[in-house]
Amino acid sequence: MAADTVEGRRTLLVTGILDARREGQPVTFEAEGVELEYDDRTIRLELDAEQRDRLDALLSAYHVFKIKQPGTRRAADGVVYLSAVTDAKHAADFVDAAFREVYELGGEYALNAVDEA
């Protein structure tokens, strides 16, 4: 699945998140070589130092999302896990904002969703 408009990306994100919840399988969203994984109300991002700073700024606007270490291991360097206990629409807004602001893709990027099943 792919989308390159604001409305299309939002629909793709909400649908992907709802499908992941219903099927119990992660979904990976990809744009311009950047991947972001949503799995069981957790978001996984790979970030460099500048992207991490931008993520911290974004999190101040999305208070429901919190950095969360995996329960069984320490996250690899450059990998951040976020608790995403919220409705699918709010999670989709955050994921879109992460692509636009954290990864600096702006508002005109094409998004793909890959079901991990």
> Rounded to whole angstroms, how far apart are CA atoms 33 and 50?
17
- Residues 48-63 have pLDDT tens digits of 999 999 999 999 999 9
Confidence of residue 8 (pLDDT cuts 50, 70, 90): very high
For residues 19-42, give the mean pLDDT: 94
**pLDDT at 74 (0 to 100):** 64
| pTM, to two decimals | 0.90
